[in-house]
Amino acid sequence: MDYEKLRKNIENELSQAQKDIDAWDENYITIRILKLVKAACTHSKESFNLEILSKKQKGKAEKKFGDIAVLVRYIEKGEIKIEGVGFIEAKRSYSDNRENYSKLDAKKFDVFLENTCHSFYCFYSKKRNNIPILSTAYLQQLSNNAKKKTESFGDNDLFSKNFPEEISQQLKRFINFYDLDYGKTAIDIVLGRDSREFVPENIILVEHNKTSSDDTTFKGLNMEIYEVSKEKTIIENLFMQEADSEDDDNLISHF
């Protein structure tokens, strides 16, 4: 995948959204970015498969666990050997509040940090031509040390003392098995097995398939950096539901 080209396409999409009041919406911008990710993978020769799934939710907003979850798998002979997930929450700036991120809630930091070791926030700003990304742990520390409420944070508060990665760079790290959570709690949330009904808005499913017995042919995975659980549950038709489901508001859409 050409991540540099993806970065430029994302910046162009952000620029278009900045000019259109109807397009200046977290969900709209996020969906447009996901479509660019899918297109970038489709038009490149990758050693992995990538699918994007969007889950229409109903119920309380606090049940949402990130705008994007990236579920990455290493598959050998049809068996999932390694499975990890990374989460991204998106926030946009609000012009009626001096371009602050007035929906940035410090209480949500605790929810992420209690359930996963790897979550991030990306920021859609009308003052920037890129989409920076920060870890939730960093944001919590910033919030704890700040002399004002998180809801009044703007770009200067978030990015004045650091040089964050952009969303395309973070997606690249996820896809290559970096910054992922391999724990049961985080994976259950993505697979819809969480008893509290936490669920991400959108899922990027990445599957690396080993096609040769020669380990050197697979270069995208640093096998020794994490420990793999021997207990694995393979869920058939993981994201698909019956076509005749009466719950139309909870269907999965592919794009």
| Strands ordered across the beta sheet of 119-124 | 165-166, 132-135, 119-124, 79-92, 68-76, 202-210, 48-55, 252-254
Residues in the chain: 255
153: left (phi over 0), alpha (psi -120 to 50) or beta: beta
Q: Are 181 and 85 in contact (CB under 8 A)?
A: yes
Contact 127, 93 (CB under 8 A): yes
pLDDT 10s digit of each residue in the chain, 255 long?
889 999 999 999 999 999 998 889 999 999 999 999 998 887 667 778 888 887 655 545 667 899 999 999 999 888 999 999 999 999 999 876 577 998 999 999 999 999 999 899 999 998 888 999 999 999 999 999 988 899 899 988 898 766 678 999 999 999 999 999 999 999 999 998 888 888 899 999 999 987 655 454 444 444 333 333 323 222 223 333 323 333 444 434 444
Nearest to 103 by CA among 153, 143, 54, 60: 153
Give the Cα separation of 211 and 146 in Å (integer). 51
Phi/psi class of residue 78: alpha, beta or left (left: φ > 0; alpha: ψ in -120 to 50)? Answer: left
Name residue, tokens 């899922």. Answer: 203
